[in-house]
Chain A
């Protein structure tokens, strides 16, 4: 168990448009999900913590109006990159955790390219 999916796996969009990325926990309920950003050959940078039914908690330096997070159900969180610019091009990864446990289960990631 503990499978997390992400969709789409790759997306190319034009500058100024918005892109939505979905993160789903397929076989467990996740009250908490996380969104990370990873630059090539670099580590993961936590962007925000997504809590089901409440507002996301953003890390310092992450613009909440640019990276909109919605965690509407126990199995789905979405990240919308609004008015995307080329500098938003990156690998975005979500993770989910079971209530009461510390391990995080990661999605396969979404490669966003903004042209």
Chain B
């Protein structure tokens, strides 16, 4: 079953603004990952955060993890038109951590 729930389902902002997407999950995890999918394409791995980490950065991306609330957020700063895509969180459970359970995704549109 799908574990991750993401909000918002869709987000539309102006280029240059920051975009924040949230993900909640239900079971204990080994790690949480964020992926990007351009329309009709495969997914691209963005960042992985382990259960013992609280924050992680990669370029314009910032991911936080709150295991007590079972939630994570992805912040994209200084957004660009090329950031337009769907963003998915995926959790790897403690048991069987190689499998990922994907959230429903957030459709992000950056308006020029």
Contact = CB atoms under 8 A, between A and B. Distances in A.
Interface residues of A, number: 24
Contacts of A45: 2
Contacts of A93: 42-43
B40 A102 contact: no
Interface residues of B, number: 24
Given A43-B103, A44-B88, A102 B98 contact: yes
Contacts of B35: 106
Question: SS class of chain A's interface: helix, strand, loop or mixed?
Answer: strand
Nearest to A97: B98
A102 B92 contact: yes
Nearest to A36: B102
A105 B30 CA distance: 18
Nearest to B35: A106
B104 interface: yes
A32 B99 CA distance: 10
B44 interface: yes
Interface of A: 4, 6, 32, 34, 41-46, 49, 91, 93, 95, 97, 102-109, 111
